[in-house]
Amino acid sequence: MSEARVIDGKEIAAKVRADVAAEVKSLKASHGLTPGLAVVLVGEDPASKVYVRNKAAQTVECGMNSWEHKLPEDTSEADVLAMVDKLNKDKAVNGILVQLPLPKHIDSTKVLNSIDPDKDVDGFHPVNVGRLGIGERSLVPCTPRGSVILAKSVIPDLSGLNAVVVGRSNIVGKPMLQLLLQENCTVTVAHSRTKDLPAVVRQADLVIAAVGRPEMVKGDWIKPGAVVIDVGINRITKPDGKGKLVGDVDYADCAKVAGAITPVPGGVGPMTIACLLQNTVDATKMQHGIK
Ligand code: NDP
């Protein structure tokens, strides 16, 4: 059997960023608007610092304004809420992102829910969750949005496909369900209580794995020719003691059966920031009543 086509997330993310940059240019020319993204980082988490640096660099590369607000680890919840309130009121700021995880003494839900839903470029606010559920124009969580773009790069019309999403988190699995319903897929959402998961996944023309368990999805779970999108990012230690990033899908095993598959790294990962930039442009347009 031939190997699956590899879906190149880096290349597709670069295209999304180029489209964003073109839209930013045209918004400047037509409306005198420069979209702006403010990122709030509390504390010293090394991975968060890298994410925030990458987000800021790519925001600027696309021609947008970028602000980084770095607050010390011991900042009070009240001070973080005050910072969000200030950004909510700042007309130059179109998108607000509070980098997670927040230090333990801060209630993340309270902080995320204090972001103006129209500036909530992560799409986590209950108002945006509701808007997505009823099919209204909304800001959509970045990782599911990017996953759909990757699936459509192989099958432009997903209509009528059987899609199985493994995982039901608020940030990936549940918004994924809504987006795939909008694409007219027949969607099954599986989770830790699902009976005979391999048999459920075997029904899928499109598999989205967002489980957080290294290489859990095996080749004999995959219907021949199915499209496999691996959202998982897991750091494992190889027998030689070296670290390695792997997805929730056993890539080598599934690539023998699937029609197309995303690698880890280089699949869904790069799409997340690209979609954050797209969300910032979308937020700007929504705030100014631009279609
Ligand atoms: P969560 O831990 O919030 O959710 C995991 C989901 O998987 C839960 O719904 C859980 O079920 C389900 N699950 C766990 N074990 C099993 C099992 N054995 N069989 C079936 N279902 C199971 O994870 P996230 O959604 O936040 O993240 C999922 C993965 O995606 C992680 O690897 C994460 O690192 C990655 N990720 C990648 C991003 C990117 O940018 N590429 C962004 C966000 C996440 P139950 O609800 O029943 O407990």
Tens digit of pLDDT for each residue in 175-195? 999 999 999 999 999 999 999
> Please, what are the domains in the chain?
32-117 (3.40.50.10860), 141-270 (3.40.50.720)
Write the single-letter amino acid at 253: D
**Residue with CA nearest ligand 1 atom 36:** 232
Round to whole Å and give the CA distance between 228 and 204.
Answer: 9
Pocket of ligand 1 (CB under 6 A): 143, 166-169, 171-173, 190-194, 197, 210-213, 231-234, 248, 268-269, 272
Run of H or E residues at 131: helix 126-133
Task: State mean pLDDT over 125-151.
Answer: 97
Q: Give mean pLDDT, residues 128-157.
A: 97
Contact call for residues 248 and 234 (beta carbons, < 8 A): yes
Task: Reply yes or no on whether 58 is catalytic.
Answer: no
Flag whether pLDDT at 152 surpasses 80.
Answer: yes
Q: What's the rounded mean pLDDT across residues 152-175?
A: 98
Handedness of CA 19, 84, 109, 69 (dihedral sign): positive
Among 198, 270, 259, 182, which Cα is nearest to 228's? 259
pLDDT at 61: 98
CA distance 39 to 43: 13
What local confidence, expressed as pLDDT, does residue 1 receive?
Answer: 59
User: Given ligand 1 and candidates 165, 211, 234, 245, which is best to mutate, with the most ligand atoms within 8 Å of its CB?
Assistant: 211
Read off the pLDDT of residues 219-244 as tens digits, 9 standing for 90 and up.
999 999 999 999 999 999 999 999 99
Report how far residue 197's alpha carbon sits from residue 158's, in angstroms, rounded to the nearest whole number. 22
In whole numbers, what is the pLDDT of the chain averaged over residues?
97
22: CA distance to ligand 1 center in Å? 34
Please compute the mean of the pLDDT values over residues 115-137 and round it to a whole number. Answer: 97
Three-class SS state of 145: helix
Q: Are the C-beta atoms of 282 and 26 separated by less than 8 Å?
A: no
Residue nearest to ligand 1 atom 34, measured at CA: 233
Distance 212 CA to ligand 1 centre (A): 4
Asked whether residue 131 carries a pLDDT value surpassing 70, the answer given is: yes
Distance 191 CA to ligand 1 centre (A): 9
In which band, very low, low, confident or very high, does the pLDDT at 2 lie, cut at 50, 70 and 90? confident
pLDDT of residue 177: 98
- What mean pLDDT comes out for the span 252-266? 98
DSSP string for residues in 158-208: -TT-EEEEE---TTTHHHHHHHHHHTT-EEEEE-TT-SSHHHHHTT-SEEE
Q: How far apart are CA 73 and CA 104, in angstroms?
A: 10
The answer to whether 203 is a known catalytic residue is no
